[in-house]
């Protein structure tokens, strides 16, 4: 299983802070993004945002990273702390 997390504006727009998905063959950060985008038009819109960021196991990465079972994948907008 893969744990997927959503933060800030995304979490609010999707009314979801986390969910679990099954690992599939050759799964990447982009595969997960596309899979989630297929949920409905809302998810399609949110998951296609230009500035969407993704972290795997708490490290920001790009859309080609391979996913392994047990990974924690997080989607969020650009950060605005400090």
Partner 1 sequence: MIKVQQSDFVVADEYRYLANDNQDGAVVTFVGKVRDFNEGIDVQGLSLEHYPGMTEKVLNDIEKKAREHWPLNKVTIIHRFGDLTLGEQIVFIGVTSPHRKAAFAACEFLIDFLKTQAPFWKKELTSEGSVWLDAKNSDDDASQQWQEKLND
- The site for partner 1 (CB under 8 A) is made up of 5, 7-9, 11-12, 51, 55, 58-60, 74, 76-82
Name the minimum Å distance from CB 8 to partner 1.
Answer: 4
The strand pairing partners of 75, in sequence order, are 6, 54
Question: Which CB sits closer to partner 1, 8 or 24?
Answer: 8
Strand ranges (E), the chain: 2-6, 18-21, 53-56, 59-61, 72-76
Give 1 or 8: the residue with its C-beta nearer to partner 1.
8
């Amino acid at each position: 299983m893969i744990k997927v997390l959503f933060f800030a504006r995304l979490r609010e727009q999707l009314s979801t802070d986390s969910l679990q998905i099954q690992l599939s063959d050759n799964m990447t950060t982009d595969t997960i993004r596309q899979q989630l985008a297929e949920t409905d038009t809302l998810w399609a819109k949110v998951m296609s945002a230009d500035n969407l960021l993704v972290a795997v196991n708490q490290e920001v990465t790009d859309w080609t990273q391979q996913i392994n079972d047990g990974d924690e994948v997080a989607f969020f907008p650009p950060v605005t702390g400090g």
